[in-house]
Amino acid sequence: MRFVIVAILSLAWACSSDDPQESDPDPTLPPTPPGSKYQPLDLTALDNGQGVMMQAFYWDVEPRHQWWNTIKPKIGEWADAGVDRIWLPVATKGQSGGYSMGYDPSDYFDFGEYDQHGTIPTRMGTREELEAVIAQAHAKEVEVIADIVLNHNSGGGLQYNPYRHKQTYTLFNEDHGNASGKFNRDFEHFHPNAIHERDPEAMFFEEQDLCHDHPHVQNWLWKSEESVAKYYKNVMGFDGWRFDYVKGFEPWVIREWMKSVGGYAVGELWEGNGAVLAQWVEETGIAAFDFAAFYKMEEAFDRHNDLRYLDRDMLRKTHPQLAVTFVANHDTEKDEHPDNRISKANKMKSYAYILTHDGYPTIFYLDYEDQDFSEELRQLMLIHGSLATGEVEVLYVDQDEYVMRRSGGPGNPGLILYMNIGNNIKRRSVQSLWNDQPVMDYAGQTSYTSTSDVSGKVMLEAPAKGYAIYSVME
């Protein structure tokens, strides 16, 4: 697959010798003519070891009960394209049964095997089908990330709750939403209880807000040998965790969970303030989705048409190793407010941003499947796994131009990303780390080529309302 993309790109480059349409400043050198002695680098030979995570679902996946069977045959191709982890939807039964996306967790041990909430399979399918997905991922050396909802529960039976002086849906046992019989719960395990009124600082306070201070809850969630954490890891074979709604409980819960089972982990802290995200990753020691980067891209490309927003605070700038970047997810994609989503017209610029910068990028299933994106997105993933390495330095930014350089490393020339949201082609002379070397756009967005001078200065070109990703030829 990678070879095919490289071959197409080199063909496109070799055949195009047209001068740019614009009457911009003269480039330092004319475009390299076809048949020149220079060839594109073989990016597949420059593997930098960096993968991407596939968010392997969207909101209300269809067809119901067939999701595991839908994604399983795709995993091999994802792996070939650079995916090293897949984030699966919640795998256990929720209150809304066959319609549930899992964020209403009822039975943490019903992976589609007990007849409750109106169905045996979950919305995604049966336990056997899930096990086949996990086995297929492991056969392709892809890690499987479980979506874990620790904050709240749904779907229990009614009981009198002395702390609330009324009936509450806090009874979870074999006859009430917990057919597995593991982690049975009652009102003592939710807030308020004998321990306290609520989580000290957390924001979520519903009648089924789990109390993580209760020893029974701790034992069943992560401490004991038959806990959710250990069962998911040791019996089901999950390799890591995506923690849902971490605003609803304190960071020590994550630290305790990780101490018990380890693995790769990322939290959903829906927060556009980079400093708040930074404090949370320091407190938990795990990664967070970079909502700050998401909102800065939305502001830069969509809302304000001003690339200077890319220069503002993001988690990836302070904690690149703990920042999971993304362009869309199951929530943003169904959000009707335009400020909470990146429009389709600007998605590929956003993917070009996250796949060339540091941070660990996520690819959203529907974007990967979108035929309008497929070739371009796969090429960006190839660039991410090859040229997108080394120090990040922003070389230039103004309202409609943004130039960023990755320094590369031994045997790897790095890249220069040149974005332009203006209506005209732009050229700009920038400082590369390439001395007297011909360069081209590996993203396939422009046929312009150039040569750096002996000091590394190079004239680059970005297409109107687009981007180019330069590196050297050989």
Would you say 147 or 298 has its CB closer to Zn ion? Answer: 298
Q: Which residues from 73-132 bind Zn ion, rule CB under 5 A?
A: none
Residue 465 CB, nearest approach to Zn ion (Å):
16
Would you say 196 or 259 has its CB closer to Zn ion? Answer: 196
The reply on whether position 302 binds Zn ion by CB under 5 A is yes
DSSP string, 384-453: HTTT--S-EEEEEE-SSEEEEEE--BTTB--EEEEEE-SSS-EEEEEE-S-SS-EEEETTSS---EEE--
Exposed e or buried b per residue across 212-234, where buried means at least 16 C-beta atoms within 10 angstroms of its C-beta: bbbeebbebbbbbeebbbbbbbe
Q: Which residues from 304-343 bind Zn ion, rule CB under 5 A?
A: 338
Would you say 38 or 163 has its CB closer to Zn ion? Answer: 163
Residue 195 CB, nearest approach to Zn ion (Å):
6
Residue 280 CB, nearest approach to Zn ion (Å):
19
SS3 269: coil
Beta bridge partners of residue 185, listed in sequence order: 172
Q: For the chain, percent helix, then strand, then coil, each to nearest 5?
A: 30, 25, 45
CA-only gyration radius of the chain, Å: 25
The reply on whether position 209 binds Zn ion by CB under 5 A is no
Residue 211 CB, nearest approach to Zn ion (Å):
3
The reply on whether position 213 binds Zn ion by CB under 5 A is yes
DSSP string, 280-320: HHHHHSSEEE-HHHHHHHIIIIIIS--GGGGGS--HHHH-G
Residue 197 CB, nearest approach to Zn ion (Å):
9
The span of 121-129, 174-182, 292-300, 406-414 binding Zn ion (CB under 5 A) equals 292-300
Contact with Zn ion (CB under 5 A): which of 41, 81, 202, 211? 211
The span of 19-27, 79-87, 113-121, 301-309 binding Zn ion (CB under 5 A) equals 301-309
73: Cα within 13 Å, side-chain hemisphere: 3
Number of residues that bind Zn ion (CB under 5 A): 5
The reply on whether position 207 binds Zn ion by CB under 5 A is no
Summary count for the chain: helices (H), strands (E): 13, 20
The span of 97-105, 270-278, 296-304, 369-377 binding Zn ion (CB under 5 A) equals 296-304
For Zn ion, what does the binding mask look like between residues 165 and 204, x meaning CB under 5 A? ----------------------------------------
Beta bridge partners of residue 81, listed in sequence order: none
Residue 33 CB, nearest approach to Zn ion (Å):
42
Among 459, 463, 449, CA closest to 37: 449
Would you say 46 or 297 has its CB closer to Zn ion? Answer: 297
Residue 359 CB, nearest approach to Zn ion (Å):
20
Would you say 211 or 388 has its CB closer to Zn ion? Answer: 211
3-state SS string over 56-92? Answer: CCCCCCCCCCCHHHHHHHHHHHHHHCCEEEEECCCCC
Q: Which residues bind Zn ion (CB under 5 A)?
A: 211, 213, 298, 302, 338
